[in-house]
């Protein structure tokens, strides 16, 4: 058998456009109820990925997330994402 290498799934951050290991990115998911952060990465729905850092997050909220998720972000959606980022900031 050929040496089997563990393939690490990669995704593109919609904030900076960098390809990154999926495990370091945070998934954002579009649901019928709105746009949510999906820390488990398992929520069904159209997803997009962002680095857990302010520049990428802001870029995503301002423009690229709505494009990636093919929806428009309402105020509640944006507030929810911003507050999630704030909670990350407090840890770091
Ligand atoms: Zn990024």
User: Ligand 1 mean position to 2 CA, how many Å?
Assistant: 34
Domain that residue 44 falls in = 10-91
Ligand 1 centre from 15 Cα, in Å? 5
**Total domains in the fold of the chain:** 1
CATH number at residue 83: 3.30.1230.10
Burial track 18-43 (b if 16+ CB lie within 10 A, e otherwise): eebeeeebbbbbbeeeebbbbeeeee
Please tell me the distance from the alpha carbon of residue 58 to that of residue 55, in angstroms, as a whole number: 5
- Give 42-57 as a DSSP string: --SSEEEEE-SSHHHH
Residues near ion ligand 1 (CB < 5 Å) are 13, 15-16, 51, 56
Q: Is residue 16 part of a domain?
A: yes
Distance 88 CA to ligand 1 centre (A): 15
Model confidence, pTM: 0.87
- Residue 76, burial from CB neighbour count under 10 angstroms (0-12, 13-18, 19+): exposed
> What is the tens place of the pLDDT at every residue in 31-64?
999 999 999 999 999 999 999 999 999 999 999 9
pLDDT of residue 5: 74
Task: Find the 30 Cα to ligand 1 centroid distance in Å.
Answer: 19
Residue 32 in any domain: the answer is yes
């Amino acid at each position: 058998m050929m040496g089997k290498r563990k393939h690490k799934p990669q995704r593109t951050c919609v904030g900076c456009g960098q390809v990154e290991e999926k495990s370091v990115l945070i998934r954002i998911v579009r649901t019928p109820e709105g746009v949510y952060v999906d820390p488990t990465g398992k929520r069904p729905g159209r997803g997009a990925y962002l680095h857990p850092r302010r520049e990428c997050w802001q870029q995503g909220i301002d423009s690229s997330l709505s494009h990636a998720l093919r929806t428009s972000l309402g105020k509640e959606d944006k507030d929810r994402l911003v507050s999630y980022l704030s909670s990350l900031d407090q840890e770091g």
